[in-house]
Structure 1
């Protein structure tokens, strides 16, 4: 990557980091491009050059947060062993949805959905819809399961079982509890698919 590209990427990351901070502390409705520019130590015009609207910046911020550790839970689906990849995906998916960033984002969505319905639509495009489409391709291509929508929806709901307590500030599961839960949920999914097929 050349110097110019590095500079552009540095600015893009500064904008996304500032946007994340603004959205999660101020809320979507109160966050504005001027505050984000100030926090990123850039001009408002620079922010608009990278992200022409607040909703586009919000979508990019969601993706940025989803990949902040450099690895997406979807990456596990590329494992040569389909079942191992599915199990690794399940654990990473459940863990990702218990991170502080995710919980804050979910609280934001609940609090502001009435004021900014476009925010909810963006969240589903970036998160659940993208995940669902990737899983549908995985199940069809790697496991030979064509009609996976309902079983996958039920499985993902099982994987998110600990999130409600975490949202309410309750104690999070231990690593062992999480692994046991994810294993049981995934075993149940695979058993159901085998019986259906």
Structure 2
């Protein structure tokens, strides 16, 4: 190889880690957005809540939209960090019941619901933010659940052709109308009712994909 042809491989991109000041801003902004919604939240209010000057705030985030977009990216990246890994040694039914119960409980969490509503309320003014949240967040969850289902298939507990499709069907069957009710701010059914819906959906899924 000639000297001119030699190239140095680019170093892999490193993940951005927020410093203490940036974390202060993000935490304050999240609280403001959850309590007041996107439209009613101001950069002045975020700066005051974070205990920083407006110059410092704008040095990190040039606009309220950029700050909100950053929070959406964090939400999407962290969406699967606390999902319990199913123990398929307990059998498919018990393992998937615990997995689906986690997602149902997440939608019933007030803070998560408030963030979900804050994003959906901006669908007309900032549709790209909603697209980012939907596509990135949804895909992260589907990839994770599909991986779990592939593990169950490898153990002979389930039989399917498309893990991504099976994962999407599992979530739709067990979560039902919960996301739509949260997004629209409608009254939710009782926790017991959602438990009943989840159990029924899980039974349908297991019957459909029994080996």
The separation in 2 between residues aligned to 1:147 and 1:66, in whole angstroms, is 23
The aligned residue for residue 113 of structure 2 is 103
- Equivalent residue in structure 2 for 1:180, among 189, 192, 196: 196
Structure 1: any 5+ residue segments left out of the alignment? 1-6
The separation in 1 between residues aligned to 2:77 and 2:167, in whole angstroms, is 25
Residue 8 (structure 1) shift:
4.2
The separation in 1 between residues aligned to 2:97 and 2:174, in whole angstroms, is 11
Question: Cα distance 1:78–1:171, how it changes in 2: closer, same or farther (>3 A)?
Answer: closer
- Equivalent residue in structure 1 for 2:171, among 131, 146, 156: 156
Aligned 8 A contact 1:97 1:103 in 2? yes
Q: Is the counterpart of residue 135 in structure 1 residue 145 in structure 2?
A: yes
Structure 2: any 5+ residue segments left out of the alignment? 1-17, 155-159
Between structures 1 and 2, the one with greater helix share: 1
- Equivalent residue in structure 2 for 1:38, among 39, 48, 51: 48
Question: Cα distance 1:46–1:188, how it changes in 2: closer, same or farther (>3 A)?
Answer: farther
- Equivalent residue in structure 2 for 1:21, among 31, 36, 40: 31
Aligned 8 A contact 1:139 1:146 in 2? no
The aligned residue for residue 70 of structure 2 is 57
Shifted more, 110-119 versus 157-166: the winner is 157-166
- Equivalent residue in structure 2 for 1:170, among 172, 178, 187: 187
Q: Deviations over 1:114-163 (max 9, x none)?
A: 10022112312442111011112222233244503333323212333352
- Equivalent residue in structure 2 for 1:77, among 76, 85, 95: 85
Aligned 8 A contact 2:29 2:46 in 1? yes
The separation in 2 between residues aligned to 1:85 and 1:155, in whole angstroms, is 13
The separation in 1 between residues aligned to 2:131 and 2:197, in whole angstroms, is 30
The aligned residue for residue 102 of structure 2 is 92
- The two structures have a TM-score, normalised by structure 1, of 0.70
The separation in 2 between residues aligned to 1:33 and 1:104, in whole angstroms, is 19
